[in-house]
Amino acid sequence: MDFDLSEDQLLLKDQARKFLEDQCTPAEVRRVFEGDESYHPDLWRSISEMGWLGAALPEEYGGVGMGYVELCVIAEELGRSLAPVPFSSTVYLAAEAILLAGSEDQKQKYLPQFAMGEIIGTLALAEGPGTVTAASIQTSFADGTLSGHKLPVPDGDVADIAVVAARDQNAPGDGTSLYIVHLNGTGIDRKVIETLDPGRSHARIDLNKAAAEPLGRPGEGPEILDQLFDRAAVLFSFEQLGGAQRALEMARDYAMERFAFGRPVGSFQAIKHKLADMYVATELARSNCFYGAWALSSESPELPVAAATARLGAIKANHLCSKENIQTHGGMGFTWEFDCHLYYRRAKLLALALGGEPEWQDRLIDRLRRQRPASQEAAQ
């Protein structure tokens, strides 16, 4: 069994890296960090023209139909370059939600627009700090409209549509259901909120009887979100893997070029150990990410475990590498002029997307427990 990328996938990876190295330089990333724009519109336009937005979407819905492994390859390169574009919220969350649960009419209406970059999407789930639960969702659905608020919403200030989780008192179960909302319509107020990473904007969205159309069956929200999170976790993990790999390379290069006491700092044991730990964490995360990519692309029943494993490995590797990259650069690594902090900021932000590390630890434990034979459970 071959666990490596195919020739075509390696070619895609090489092309994506070269494109982003040319179009998404550190100066362009800083332009968004230091400016008033929420994302880089020219880069977003170029990405849409290259077909990346529809990489995993079926051709009948305007996509390229390459597959999820190819989308993972693109995600890794976007993470490596810190691309300041609403790619994850549009592709991993909004488009995947509609692909999973949308009616045929909804798929035909929205997915081609996503693939062409004509609209930006997002997922509006949380309503404040803390873990998202059925009890924490207070936004309500009645008479075809939504009322409530969502905070924080990734790319909520620039998105055109949002998949919103809300409570429907007439729905079965706890009533949690999903809805599609056009954010440029009436009854909607948006406010940008400040985060650690200005390259990925967030917003508060207030809904006051905003028109909404159901996505999936009433009360089916938790099941859809569970599937959506497994898929998105793999894709976010590849973004984190790309960031970790680049931070490792930055630390290695600096350690070889910076001299102290007449020798490269990389020759000192303390720095060697840092780089070795970063390398081990990155390679372990890479293995877990490829496990997740295989499970996602093959629609394997192992996806829930693979997604949680990939997510946890990528969170740890990205945090470690971005942190130790700053330490390896010494005092200058903490300054605004160096790019080290950009990777640390992105690592901290991505670690909270879809829920933090403790939540994914609980998910992994729960899913592993479900896989255990009943005889083993009884023995304990």
Q: What CATH code is carried by the domain that includes residue 186?
A: 2.40.110.10
110 belongs to a structural domain: yes
**Could you tell me if residue 107 is inside a domain?**
yes
From first to last of its 380 residues, what are the pLDDT tens digits of the chain? 466 889 999 999 999 999 999 999 999 999 999 998 999 999 999 999 999 999 999 999 999 989 999 999 999 999 999 999 999 999 999 999 999 999 999 999 999 999 999 999 999 999 988 888 878 899 999 999 999 999 999 999 999 999 999 999 889 988 999 999 999 999 999 999 999 999 999 999 999 999 999 999 999 999 999 999 999 999 999 999 999 999 999 999 999 998 888 888 878 999 999 999 999 999 999 999 999 999 999 999 999 999 999 999 999 999 999 999 999 999 888 898 999 999 999 999 999 999 999 999 999 999 999 887 644 554 55
Placement of tokens 């700090």 in the chain: 129
The answer on 241 and 162 residing in a single domain is: no
Strands 161-167 and 121-124: parallel
- Kindly report the length of the chain: 380
- Which residues is 163 bridged to in the sheet? 123, 180
The helix (H) or strand (E) run that includes residue 142 is: strand 140-142
Looking at the structure of the chain, the number of domains it has is 3
Pick from 185, 219, 253: which residue ends a domain? Answer: 219
Say if residue 64 is in the same domain as residue 183.
Answer: no
Q: What gap in Å lies between CA 185 and CA 182, rounded to an integer?
A: 6
Rg (CA), the chain: 21
Same domain, 232 and 337: yes
Q: Is the dihedral of CA 116, 117, 118, 121 positive or negative?
A: positive
Same domain, 263 and 362: yes
Give the C-alpha separation, 353 to 257, whole Å. Answer: 35
| 78 belongs to a structural domain | yes
Residues 195 and 114 in one domain: no
User: What CATH number corresponds to the domain at position 34?
Assistant: 1.10.540.10
d(CA 345, CA 235): 19
pLDDT at 370: 87
As a whole number of angstroms, the distance between CA 240 and CA 165 comes to: 26
Partner residues linked to 277 by β-bridges: none
Residue 103 CB: number of other CB atoms within 10 A?
A: 13
Which residue has tokens 């964490």? 281
- DSSP for 19-65, please give it: HHHHHS-HHHHHHHHHSS-SS-HHHHHHHHHTTGGGSSS-GGGT---
Determine the residue type at 234: V
Q: Is 375 helix (H, G, I), strand (E, B) or coil?
A: helix
Q: Which of these, 163, 317, 302, lies nearest to 239 by C-alpha position?
A: 317
Both structure tokens of 187:
């009854």
Query: Does one domain contain both 13 and 101?
Result: yes
Nearest Cα residue to 88 out of 206, 232, 258, 225 = 232
Residue 40 lies in a domain: yes
Name the domain boundary from 160, 187, 219.
Answer: 219
Cβ atoms of 162 and 146 closer than 8 Å: no
Q: Which two tokens stand for residue 73?
A: 């390859």
Is residue 274 within 8 A of residue 250, CB to CB? The reply is no
Structural domain span for residue 250: 222-372
- Is residue 168 located within the same domain as residue 106? no
